[in-house]
Amino acid sequence: MIRRLALAAALALASAPLFASTYLLETRHTQGVIRWNHLGFSNPTAQFSQVEGTLEFDPANPTKASVTATITLANLTSGVPDLDEDFRAARFFDMAQFPTATFKSTRVEQGSAPDRLRVTGDLSLRGVTRPVVLDVTINKVGTNIRSHLPSVGFEALTTLKRSDFGLGAFVPQVSDEVQIHITSEAEESKAYVAKLKADAAEAAKNSMEAAKEVEAAEAALKR
């Protein structure tokens, strides 16, 4: 995990815009909710999590931002086992053949307020790539009081047609249009990777100390 994050940070830094900071999406606090209409009676949802990616962001020049993200579709769940099985099947996401979805931004424009952006990018899903537009709200830029790392948080909303990606089963009884709401935290990459390494080293040290205590206890029993 640490090696993968370190490699992602290094690759992102190599292509980072001048003055922008590179952030890694914090997988534990990045998730999305998909909402659709079912027969006009209800609006069910499914959630995806464990999103990995990088963000280039300069608060003084947010329209120069860029983002890439990879979603592992195995984490998609509706809370309804039968529906989750349908999601995995070939007539929907065909996860055996297409296990991930990816997004790569191509343009960022200022929105209707200083904290609003319109992010255009390419969404690749089920072997199909289409442009989508995310309406983004920047929640906060600053130091995370829990991790003590430079962080940025945002919300993103978009609506797309699932039939555009080969997911048109049961249209129009089940709505073609789906709404997606993403919430995310991202932490400055160098500091984040350094913290992960420090946490891993501390955990290894504690494990070694615990092993020594066990050895000492076992030796005492043999006396």
pLDDT, tens digit, 9 for 90 and up, residues 68-113 = 999 999 999 999 999 999 999 999 999 999 999 999 999 999 999 9
Peptide bond into 172 cis (omega under 30): yes
Lowest mean pLDDT among 21-35, 47-61, 155-169, 186-200: 186-200
All residues at 6 or more sequence positions from 52 whose CB lies less than 8 Å from its CB, including other chains: 4, 8, 25, 27, 69, 70, 72
Strand, helix or coil at 9?
helix
Residue 61's φ and ψ, nearest 5 degrees, are -145, 65
The model's confidence at residue 115, banded by pLDDT at 50, 70 and 90, is very high
Tell me, what amino acid is at 19?
F
Q: Residue holding tokens 């039968």?
A: 82
The model's confidence at residue 19, banded by pLDDT at 50, 70 and 90, is low
**The predicted structure's pLDDT at residue 212:** 75
> Is-contact 117 138, C-beta < 8 A?
yes
> Is-contact 121 134, C-beta < 8 A?
yes
Using one digit for the tens of pLDDT, what is the confidence trace for 53-71?
999 999 999 999 999 999 9
Distances (CA, A) of 186 to 53, 150, 206: 9, 9, 28
**The predicted structure's pLDDT at residue 214:** 63
What sign has the CA pseudo-torsion 129, 131, 135, 138?
positive
Residue 118 pLDDT exceeds 70: yes
Using one digit for the tens of pLDDT, what is the confidence trace for 121-134?
999 999 999 999 99
Residue 221: which H helix or E strand, with range? Answer: helix 189-222
Q: Residue holding tokens 């709401």?
A: 181
Tokens of 171: 């249209």
Tokens of 196: 């992960």
CATH topology of domain 2-222: Lipocalin (2.40.128)
Q: What residue segments make up the domains of the chain, in order of their start?
A: 2-222
pTM for the whole thing? 0.81
Residue 211 pLDDT exceeds 60: yes
- Alpha-carbon distance of 145 to 148, in angstroms, equals 5
**The predicted structure's pLDDT at residue 192:** 84
Distances (CA, A) of 73 to 46, 47, 97, 120, 209: 11, 10, 11, 22, 39
